[in-house]
Amino acid sequence: MANTTTPTMARSFLQVAATEEVAPPLRAVQIEGLVVLKIIKHCKELSPSLVTGQLLGLDVGSVLEVTNCFPFPIREEDEEIEAEGANYQLEMMRCLREVNVDNNTVGWYQSMLFGCFQTVELIETFMNYQENIKRCVCIIYDPSRANQGVLALKALKLSDSFMDLYRSNNFTGEKLREKNLSWVDIFEEIPIKVSNSALISAFMTELEDDTPVTQCDYDRLQLSTSPYLERNVEFLIECMDDLSIEQQKFQYYYRNLSRQQAQQQAWLQKRRSENMSRKAAGEEPLPEEDPSNPVFKPIPEPSRLDSFLITNQIANYCNQINGYVTDLKDRLISYPGFWAELQPIIFDEGLA
């Protein structure tokens, strides 16, 4: 019969329009080999200055695909050049559209040296992007680690709870405890996958050097470590200084707060005793609160954002040092074994 509808019929149009689509959480970022090469090239050419660029691609379900990118020219801090920067961006996007490149902005990339990327500017840029695009990601590349044979590419995203908090611009201890947010929750790292079209992998397989000698990447096996480690520890020390300054700010605030509270109590006592005497005299009791009294002015609590960022940086440096040193330790431990095996071959057989 025409009017028996099964309960699993499609929902009416109104129902569908009313339900908001919940985007699946971002699980991975899929980058094309082309983009990786472009980022490496751009960051390396203009290092040591920091460079940025735009990422283009598609947002597919729980995977964000990055299919192309273009670099930004280095901008001076000048108002007129701001417009030029926007023009450049529009021009590039238009030109790329003509050659059928995906035209959606999905984020931006930037280079950073030695892992110090946790700055307020990064967060602000993220917020700017988030207003226009539903899902954006920031890719960080560290060109200094390429000398050690590591591809240091990271995809970052601000966590949602942090973004809400940032919008309300309220970083007091209370709010943070409420949301159960600690400094680890500010940035979320997303795993990266690299994909290539079949044509390119065919070409690359073919163009691979046939001689195994050149295939070996000796950079990785280097034992000299001091410069990198020294810089890391230097930055760590600087950050510690910054952190201690921030902590002193907090201590100062708490001291002021407790002093103010003591003052408030004293004033309140005085008021109460005054009221008592007034009641005895039969007069109207004075209010127990006096908002115009400077004693009651609430002292603003310093924002914890800076200290969080600094803590993040320190943690990052520590992690880097940790990782690097463990790596090195493994190398050093394996080398004597290596050397022990080689020695009889080389020295005893009279080759040297």
Partner 1 sequence: MAASEQKTVLQFPPSFSSTLSAKVHPLVIFNICDCYVRRPDQAERVIGTLLGSVLPDGTVDIRNSYAVPHNESSGQVALDIDYHHNLLLSHQKVNPKEVIVGWYSTGLGVTGGSALIHEFYSREVPNPIHLTVDTGFRNGEGTIKAYVSVNLSLGDRPLAAQFQEVPLDLRMVEAERIGFDVLKSTMVDKIPSDLEGMEISMQRLLALIDDVYKYVDDVVEGHTAPDNNIGRFISDTVASLPKLSPPAFDKLVNDNVQDHLLLLYLSSITRTQLSLAEKLNTAAQIL
Smaller CB separation from partner 1, 173 or 285: 173
Smaller CB separation from partner 1, 28 or 130: 28
Smaller CB separation from partner 1, 98 or 284: 98
Question: Coil, strand, or helix at residue 218?
Answer: helix
Tokens of 15: 């129902």
Smallest distance, Å, CB 280 to partner 1?
A: 32
Rounded CA separation 25/214 (Å):
42
Rounded CA separation 303/246 (Å):
10
State the DSSP H helix or E strand holding residue 108, giving kind and residue range, or none if neither: strand 104-111
Smallest distance, Å, CB 247 to partner 1?
A: 7
Q: Which residues contact 203 (CB under 8 A, 6 or more apart)?
A: none
Smaller CB separation from partner 1, 25 or 191: 191
Cα-based angle 183, 185, 190 (whole degrees, multiple of 5): 130
Contact present, 96 and 70 (Cβ < 8 Å): yes
Phi, psi of 59 (to 5 degrees): -110, 105
Task: State how beta strands 192-195 and 28-32 pair.
Answer: parallel
Smallest distance, Å, CB 313 to partner 1?
A: 10
Smallest distance, Å, CB 325 to partner 1?
A: 5
Smallest distance, Å, CB 150 to partner 1?
A: 5
Smaller CB separation from partner 1, 59 or 185: 185
